[in-house]
Structure 1
Amino acid sequence: MMTKGTRNGLATCEEALQRLVSGKPHRPEHVGLDLSKLTAGIVSYEAGFDRGYLKKARKSHQALIAQIEAYRHRAPVSSVKARELVVVAEKLSTSRGELDEALKQRDNMLTRNLQLMLRIKALEKEITQLRKSSASKVVAFSERG
């Protein structure tokens, strides 16, 4: 059952909610409040109570708390959040570009390393053939003498 004190406290909180939503709070720390951060504690404090005044467990408070949550969930993204998202998107784009460049460099390096390995193998084969050829000439020369 709602008492006169509860009704007045609840009405005070409802008024505080309307001030917050309209952007005209009494408390300076609530000026410019992002409604996506609106909580029952903030409404209670704006109303002049402690942050724990509004409780979900109290039936008389449930409707107001539901309103607070509805405002919080339908609040547009603040301009600060929007700017943060733009900055993050720019960093992501830059990082993707850097990653693409690094992958190209890696692929070029791997291609060059493969070409060098093939050239080394060819030169090793040529050296082996030259050694065999020169060894047979040394044997042939020593047999002449």
Structure 2
Amino acid sequence: MKSGEGISKGVGACQEALQRLLDGKPFMPEHVGLDLSKLTASIVSHEAGFDRGYLKKSRKTHLPLLAKIEACRAEADKGCGSSSGKSIKRLADKVLFLEKELAMVSSQRDRALTQNLQLWARVRELELAERQNKSRRVRLHH
């Protein structure tokens, strides 16, 4: 029973991943802006969080999903001649995604630099206090 439940959960995850890919909203950064004419079972498996060989023709429960992937790719291939608008949209979406990622990473970098500068200033204060302490101790002994 459990293995049957696991397979249907896996197929369900792959179906959700396929829908995200078709909607142009994948979780995996490398799938952003994916040309649907290059859609494969391997990409869908990876987007679902499985290894690339998860979906197999030898598994009967996978066959409907594999057929849907094939149909989506064939449909994208058919519309390739007039899909320059779609291609531009995909590229624009990818640029937007990368701009957001750049802003996030830049913000993280700036926070880390600020913390480093604060730590550096605190270390200098402590070193100065330590030198002053040593200097007082030397004067007290003389």
> What TM-score range do you get, normalising by the shorter chain?
0.5 to 0.7
List structure 1 runs of 4+ shifted beyond 4 angstroms.
Answer: none
1:6-85 equivalent positions in 2, closer than 5 A: 6-75=7-76, 76-77=79-80, 78-79=83-84
Q: Distance in 2 between matches of 1:8 and 1:57?
A: 18
TM-score by length of 1: 0.53
Unpaired segments ≥5 residues, structure 1: 84-145
Asked which structure has the greater RCO (Cα within 8 Å, sep 6+), the reply is: 2
TM-score by length of 2: 0.54
- The CA deviation at 1:35 is 0.4
Residue 3 of structure 1: SS of its match in structure 2?
Answer: helix
- For the pair shown, the structure with the greater C-alpha radius of gyration is 1
Residue 56 of structure 1: SS of its match in structure 2?
Answer: coil
- The CA deviation at 1:57 is 1.0
RMSD across aligned C-alpha pairs, in angstroms?
2.2
Unpaired segments ≥5 residues, structure 2: 89-142
- What is the aligned-residue identity percentage? 63
- The CA deviation at 1:79 is 2.8
- The CA deviation at 1:44 is 0.1
Q: Distance in 1 between matches of 2:29 and 2:12?
A: 21
Could you say which residue in structure 1 is the equivalent of 2:96? Answer: none
